[in-house]
């Protein structure tokens, strides 16, 4: 049995808020700190000083082996791939889906699909926030190597066998973070909350406040893949720039963040599942796909070629979208 270290810990302040059904613990944490002046401090205070949230500490010990570490994304081989490579084919109905289809690719649609009453099969990755890795403080995160060249040392640090599923997920995440961005794009892997906010400031400008937009689940369900129907007219967030941050499987919280110069449109969309579930989902439409890989999964799912049509996709709750604070709906 694999011996692993547990480094996930939920801050008491956040736990007391009881925001269990979504990634609210993490999201509220992020939302409150994004305007903080002293991001290097261990305590983050909201602007009105009414709420203080403690940054999660770390029990990372390179010499300690304990019971378990939670990798909520480990089952998702295609959790996130900047190049969009999968083995998917065309966009099927659920009832006639090819048995080789990877359901995680069923998140793409076209901008013409954004109308009330449209039904489409969609996959939403689900994680339990109480078991999800949390950010380390910047000084601790910066003290840990973050490079595929250092993978053997990292596996020893976290007590993972080289051929374990955890080791393979770590290697995949590291290589994604080391991949070159496509033309007109910047990317960055945030290993701490502070580094994520610094990247955002570099995109939006030092004097431009920004805010978080995320998918909100209104109910709990074990269903990840089903038909969803658009229930209300999508609401566009008029943002001139945006940063998308995708969670990656790693022993502590790591997000692949990127921003593109090409035009993107951000929407909030109220959708309902066949099982009665409802959510306010964040969707992004990439208006120019001419620089994308020809093998991008979206082209095979939608049956289109790059540069011929905007490509849209929904974000699960553990992925983050940052927009200027003044962006209106």
275-301 pLDDT per residue, tens: 999 999 999 999 999 988 898 888 988
For the residues 264-271, what does the mean pLDDT come to? 96
Q: What share of the chain is helix, strand, coil (3-state, %, to 5)?
A: 20, 25, 55
The helix (H) or strand (E) run that includes residue 30 is helix 24-33
pTM of the model: 0.72
Determine contact, residues 35/209, Cβ cutoff 8 Å.
yes
Rounded Cα distance between 162 and 262, Å, is 40
For the residues 196-207, what does the mean pLDDT come to? 96
40-86 pLDDT per residue, tens: 333 333 333 322 222 333 333 333 332 233 333 333 233 333 333 33
Per-chain mean pLDDT for the chain: 75
150: domain range? 12-324
**Residue 7 falls inside a structural domain:** no
More confident residue, 38 or 206: 206
**Residue 3 falls inside a structural domain:** no
Task: Determine the Cα angle at 215 with ends 212 and 219, to 5°.
Answer: 135
pLDDT bucket at 104, cuts 50 / 70 / 90: low
**Residue 1 falls inside a structural domain:** no
Is pLDDT of 25 > 50? no
**Residue 74 falls inside a structural domain:** yes
**Residue 93 falls inside a structural domain:** yes
Is pLDDT of 325 > 70? yes
The closest of 240, 245, 235, 185 to 212, measured between CA atoms, is 245
Q: Which tokens sit at 251?
A: 């022993």
**Residue 329 falls inside a structural domain:** no
Rounded Cα distance between 253 and 33, Å, is 16
Structural domains of the chain, count: 1
Is pLDDT of 178 > 70? yes
What pLDDT is stored for residue 40 in this prediction? 36
**Residue 77 falls inside a structural domain:** yes
Task: Determine the Cα angle at 50 with ends 47 and 52, to 5°.
Answer: 85
Q: Which residues contact 182 (CB under 8 A, 6 or more apart)?
A: 291, 292, 293
Rounded Cα distance between 292 and 252, Å, is 30
- How much of the chain, in percent, has pLDDT values that exceed 90? 53
């Amino acid at each position: 049995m694999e011996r692993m270290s547990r480094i996930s810990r939920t801050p008491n302040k956040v736990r007391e808020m009881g925001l269990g059904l979504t990634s609210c613990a993490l999201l509220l944490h992020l939302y409150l700190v994004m305007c903080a002046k002293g991001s290097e401090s261990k305590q983050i205070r909201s602007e009105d000083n009414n709420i203080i949230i403690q940054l999660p500490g770390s029990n990372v010990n390179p010499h300690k082996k304990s019971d378990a570490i939670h990798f909520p994304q480990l089952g998702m081989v295609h959790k996130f791939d900047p190049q969009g490579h999968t083995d998917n084919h065309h966009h099927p109905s659920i009832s006639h889906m090819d048995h080789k289809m990877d359901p995680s690719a069923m998140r793409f649609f076209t901008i013409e699909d954004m109308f009330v009453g449209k039904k489409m099969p969609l996959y939403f990755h689900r994680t339990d926030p109480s078991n999800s890795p949390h950010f380390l403080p910047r000084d601790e995160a910066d003290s840990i190597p973050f490079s595929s060249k250092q993978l053997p040392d990292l596996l020893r640090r976290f007590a993972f066998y080289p051929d374990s599923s955890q080791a393979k997920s770590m290697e995949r995440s590291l290589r994604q973070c080391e991949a070159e961005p496509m033309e007109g794009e910047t990317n960055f892997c945030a290993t701490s909350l502070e580094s994520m906010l610094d990247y955002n400031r570099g995109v939006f400008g030092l004097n431009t406040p920004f805010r978080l937009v995320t998918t909100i689940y209104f109910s709990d369900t074990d269903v990840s893949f089903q038909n969803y129907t658009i229930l209300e007219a999508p609401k566009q967030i008029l943002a001139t720039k945006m940063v998308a941050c995708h969670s990656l499987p790693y022993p502590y919280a790591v997000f692949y963040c990127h921003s593109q110069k090409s035009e993107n449109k951000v929407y909030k969309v109220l959708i309902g599942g066949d099982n009665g579930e409802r959510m306010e989902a964040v969707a992004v439409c990439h208006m120019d796909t001419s620089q994308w890989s020809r093998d991008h999964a979206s082209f095979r799912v939608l049956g289109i070629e790059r540069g011929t049509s905007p490509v849209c996709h929904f974000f699960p709750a553990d992925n983050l979208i940052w927009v200027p604070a003044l962006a209106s709906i």
